[in-house]
Structure 1
Amino acid sequence: MAYKNLLITGANGCVGQYLVDWFLKNTKFRLYLMVRDKSKLPISVQENKKVKLMVCDIRESNRYKKEISQINYLIHTATAWGDPKRAYEVNIKAFEELLKMLDIEKLEKIIYFSTASILDTQTELMRESLIYGTEYIQTKYECFQRLRESSFAEKTFAVFPTLVFGGNLGKKSKYPVSYLTSGLKEIGKWLWLARFLKLDSKFHFIHANDIAQICGFLIKNHKEEQYKGFRKYVLGQKFISIDDAIITLLKRNNMRRFFAIPLTKKILKILLRILPIQTTPWDNFSIKKYDFNHVPITNPETFKLKSHAKSLNDILRLSKLPSCNNN
């Protein structure tokens, strides 16, 4: 029996390692893992007989042109931000060069990772993302447009994660810690102040384990009629407000809230004018937009699976966030 070949780019990142773990446990696929630094992968993965490492920057992927031409499934998570030139080279140019090396006759499905920041409430492209967005957001917007119009569109699932949590704050986290989970360490410093503020801005979140579940389902069930064609999935749990999050954290830390000052969009704009805070055009647009909720939203329950982290309490428990001692 010929086993299928799955290529995962960015395989040593937080989401990437959850994906690797899921496919090793739940499939017989041969995994081709594109990584810049193989030392970030667990030894057990590096030495697994089902794994072939492709150690390179994605901009150098032509070094593995022969292997790429044999790929049946591609999950593309590799990305770049911070530098406009590098963001364009990685997020657009290198990805398109990678697509050219694939054999479209052998290729069965692509899962392309974008960002929910380029979509509006109804999950349509939001033009303001291209106007005000960071270089990361702008390049993701442009790449998505190009992919949608390419010959690979009918074989593509585009996934748009919302706020991603993963790994934990313990000394021996099995997985890399996501940027947001890492940021939870600072929460105790500001919770004493946050409890006096009320902000109803809405947002979604999702755990990397649940992202892996969804991607696994889409790959394994891609031949079913309802999963054919170019599809978009915004990945997240049901939205909560920032105030809901504050209340959850207060309860977890046995802290009381005696009163809360509502922070409306108008008040936020005034504060930004009078406080010595530098903001980007995207920051200003985000404040104006206020809510970051989407319809429809996709989570494991969408496919009759069970979420690893369905609530914020689940996220906090899995992150191993220590409690504050403030009263």
Structure 2
Amino acid sequence: MSKKVFITGASGCVGHYLIEMLLEKTDYDLYLLVRDRRKLQIDVSDRPNVHVIEDSMQNIGNYQALLRTMEFVVSTAAGWGGEEAFVVNRDKTIELFSSLDPQVCERAIYFSTASILDSHNQIIPEAGELGTNYIASKHACLETLENSVIRDRLITVFPTLVFGGAENKPYSHLSKGLKDILKYVPYARFLKTDGSFHFVHAIDIAQIVTYLLTAPSGPVAPARPARLVLGMQRLTAQDLIVQFCEYLNLKVGWQFELTPFLVDAVIKLFRIEVAEWDRFCIAQRHFTYDVVSPETFGMVSQYPRLANLLAEVK
């Protein structure tokens, strides 16, 4: 008998790649929660194993009976701001996972954000104290889920900077803005700053999640509750400038060093309003973690380098 997977946020960028990959590699029954079925750009009309549920996370309580029959749940849905962030990211997400039957559910995959972790993948208290509604709600939800009845089968994934999208898939926020970012490279190449980060493409996220939903328990499968930060190799701010300039055939010459002291001076001089969380991030500068990629699980990343992303910019 085919196993059942309940997916929230299915009409988003990551959701599209995940659905496509699950349809290709499994015979699972997919239950897709979408607010507007018209945003689902994958034709599932001839797929008897795909069930589209047009509703919002606010009404997740209406599906408790269905959720108790699920072997797998993948929650990618997110509220990005305002009160909705706490309702969706904390209250309704906790309600979703609380509805699972521990006797039936095999794996529960929760999408959080790497922003709430330090370089050793530990939760930082500042995320709850200073974070935006989105950050603070993710922080509160994780603490609750890791102490819940499904903690022994919970896998939390923390995407770093997410790129992705195509003609038949919605673009991530970063991919939407990539062309605009390139416009500023001719000026940004004269600046030098200390910082580093990771990125990951949505198709590589889909590869990893599909593996987690199909791999048997064993030495390669993560211990649970698990924290997996999804990202490619660390990039410095200088690497970013160099690779952007290579793509645009620009030279990197003399650079003015933009120190934290100088940034703080500019903020004060021009009386720029900066939230406490933004100040914390400016001081942090390095957003690096112990990351996993498709290679961690014996697969091959489709977008291992920034150059792979830039090659697709129209």
Deviation of 1:179 after TM superposition, in Å, equals 0.3
Instruction: Please give the per-residue CA displacement for 1:55-111, whole angstroms capped at 9, x wherever unaligned.
Output: 11111123333322211100010110211x211111111112222332221110001
In the alignment, structure 1 residue 11 sits paired with structure 2 residue 6: no
Residue type of the alignment partner of 1:188: L
In the alignment, structure 1 residue 114 sits paired with structure 2 residue 106: no
Which residue is 1:243 aligned to? 238
Deviation of 1:276 after TM superposition, in Å, equals 4.8
- Contact 1:206/1:235, CA 8 A, preserved across alignment: yes
Which residue is 2:313 aligned to? 321
Residue type of the alignment partner of 2:205: I
Deviation of 1:46 after TM superposition, in Å, equals 4.5
Residue type of the alignment partner of 2:158: F
Match of 2:102, SS? coil
Deviation of 1:247 after TM superposition, in Å, equals 1.0
Q: How does 1:235-314 map to 2 (within 5 A)?
A: 235-294=230-289, 296-314=290-308
Q: How does 1:171-210 map to 2 (within 5 A)?
A: 173-210=167-204
Which residue is 1:230 aligned to? 225
Which residue is 1:54 aligned to? 53
TM-score by length of 2: 0.96
Which residue is 2:91 aligned to? 93
Q: Provide the C-alpha distance between the structure 2 equivalents of 1:245 and 1:203, rounded to a whole number of angstroms.
A: 10
Q: Provide the C-alpha distance between the structure 1 equivalents of 2:232 and 2:299, rounded to a whole number of angstroms.
A: 13
| Cα RMSD for the two superposed structures | 1.4
Q: Which runs of 5+ in 2 are unaligned?
A: none
2:154 corresponds to which of 156, 177, 198: 156
- Contact 1:165/1:178, CA 8 A, preserved across alignment: yes
- Contact 2:196/2:288, CA 8 A, preserved across alignment: yes
Deviation of 1:200 after TM superposition, in Å, equals 2.7
Which residue is 1:105 aligned to? 103
- Contact 1:58/1:90, CA 8 A, preserved across alignment: yes
- Contact 1:54/1:64, CA 8 A, preserved across alignment: no
- Contact 1:35/1:57, CA 8 A, preserved across alignment: yes
Deviation of 1:134 after TM superposition, in Å, equals 0.5
CA gap 1:46/1:261 in 2 versus in 1, 3 angstroms: farther
Residue type of the alignment partner of 2:132: T
Instruction: Please give the per-residue CA displacement for 1:232-261, whole angstroms capped at 9, x wherever unaligned.
Output: 101001111122111111111111233111
CA gap 1:311/1:43 in 2 versus in 1, 3 angstroms: closer
- Contact 2:7/2:30, CA 8 A, preserved across alignment: yes
CA gap 1:164/1:70 in 2 versus in 1, 3 angstroms: same
- Contact 2:247/2:310, CA 8 A, preserved across alignment: no
Q: How does 1:37-48 map to 2 (within 5 A)?
A: 37-42=36-41, 44-48=43-47
Larger deviation: 242-251 or 138-147? Answer: 242-251
TM-score by length of 1: 0.92
- Contact 1:195/1:257, CA 8 A, preserved across alignment: yes
Which residue is 1:217 aligned to? 211
Q: Provide the C-alpha distance between the structure 2 equivalents of 1:228 and 1:193, rounded to a whole number of angstroms.
A: 46
Q: Provide the C-alpha distance between the structure 1 equivalents of 2:269 and 2:48, rounded to a whole number of angstroms.
A: 60
Q: Which runs of 5+ in 1 are unaligned?
A: 323-327
Which residue is 2:25 aligned to? 26
Q: Provide the C-alpha distance between the structure 1 equivalents of 2:46 and 2:67, rounded to a whole number of angstroms.
A: 21
Residue type of the alignment partner of 1:146: T
Q: Provide the C-alpha distance between the structure 2 equivalents of 1:143 and 1:61, rounded to a whole number of angstroms.
A: 16
